[in-house]
Amino acid sequence: MATTIQAKKRARQTLKRTARNRARKNRVRTFVRGFEEVIETKDPAKTDAAFRTAESEIMRGVTKGVMRKKTASRKVSRLHKRLKALSAKA
């Protein structure tokens, strides 16, 4: 357990930061899940809007330091691939 004042403060900061990052990650997952649910409806307008919001949220996660840029790009690329496959069928 932390004994010095600095160590106690760092422990508090770590708890706050961990909670904030966990909330940000959950928010990204929620938007991605929302896109996946909308893609099942096969409605191009709703799907496109859901993709844009999911992409925006993923990239916001990058700027906030929750995930790395290449990881986010890979996720967005996979989502976009699913979006293109849906529009190709229509």
Tally the domains of the chain.
1
Containing domain of residue 64, as a range? Answer: 5-89
Locate 62 and state its tokens. 């990058």
pLDDT by residue, tens only, the chain of 90 residues: 789 999 999 999 999 999 999 999 999 999 999 999 999 998 889 999 999 999 999 999 999 999 999 999 999 999 999 999 988 876
Instruction: Report the pLDDT value the prediction gives residue 90, as an integer from 0 to 100.
Output: 62
Q: What is the CATH number of the domain that holds 24?
A: 1.20.58.110
DSSP states along the chain? ---SHHHHHHHHHHHHHHHHHHHHHHHHHHHHHHHHHHHHHT-HHHHHHHHHHHHHHHHHHHHTTSS-HHHHHHHHHHHHHHHHHHHHH-
